[in-house]
Amino acid sequence: MIRRSGEGTPAAANRAPATLHLDTFVLNLADPGQRSYLRVGIDLGLSRAVGTKDNAPPLGPVRDTIIGVLGQAKTDDLIAARGKEQLKQDLLRALQTRVPDLGVEEIYFTEFLIQR
């Protein structure tokens, strides 16, 4: 689902012009010797609106890239705020490299749950 960010609000100056909502991700984390799971909701802040039925962005490469980055994360790193911010930067860099035409400018976590 594509949404346009609100214009004229103070928060709008720091937000991307459009967002792309992705289905929730649930996956194992890279914790040796223990089972840890991450459930995370992600919206992508885009430089422009995309995604009508006729020209929807290719979500396969987007989801694959995100899963690749998330699957390398470790619980202890993600619990701290600094770890979540680093994860956002890693996701942003990976998406800008792998799907540059999508115009990803921001990563927004809409839910974030770790289970050990």
Of 55 and 93, the one with more pLDDT = 93
For the stretch 57-100, pLDDT in tens is 789 999 999 999 999 999 999 999 999 999 999 999 999 999 99
Number of other residues whose CB lies within 10 A of the CB of residue 70: 21
* Three-state secondary structure call for residue 37: strand
> Residue 91 burial (CB < 10 Å; 0-12/13-18/19+)?
buried
Dump pLDDT digits (tens) for 89-116.
999 999 999 999 999 999 999 999 999 8
Domains with residue ranges and CATH for the chain: 2-115 (3.30.479)
